[in-house]
């Protein structure tokens, strides 16, 4: 490679580096939820399911519900 080609390649690399630095990163999208909020949502969903199944089991044990044993066991799973 000649000195002229190397200089041109370096100039192109510098301009591409500057251009890349001015663009927002793909990772920093604000329209996507972050990991913490997804984890909290998942934990809340599991907590709600467990609460519901515990209420069903208590109602079944006390005879307050028309739910069958199979329905209670499935809700617990």
- pLDDT for res 40: 92
- pLDDT for res 44: 94
pLDDT in tens, the chain (77 residues): 566 677 888 888 888 888 777 665 555 556 777 888 899 999 999 999 999 999 999 999 998 888 888 888 988 88
CA 9 and chain centroid, separation: 41
Whole-angstrom Cα distance, residue 64 to residue 31?
Answer: 46
- pLDDT for res 67: 84
Residue 57: strand, helix, or coil = helix
| Tokens at 36, concatenated | 């913490």
The Cα diameter of the chain in Å comes to 91
The answer to whether residues 76 and 57 touch, using CB atoms and an 8 Å cutoff, is yes
């Amino acid at each position: 490679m000649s000195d002229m080609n190397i200089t041109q390649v370096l100039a192109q690399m510098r301009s591409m580096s500057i251009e890349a630095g001015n663009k927002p990163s793909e990772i920093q999208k604000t329209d996507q939820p972050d990991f913490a909020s997804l984890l909290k949502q998942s934990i809340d969903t599991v907590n709600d399911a467990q609460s519901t199944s515990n209420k069903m089991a208590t109602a079944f044990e006390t005879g307050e519900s028309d739910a069958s044993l199979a329905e209670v066991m499935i809700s617990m799973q």
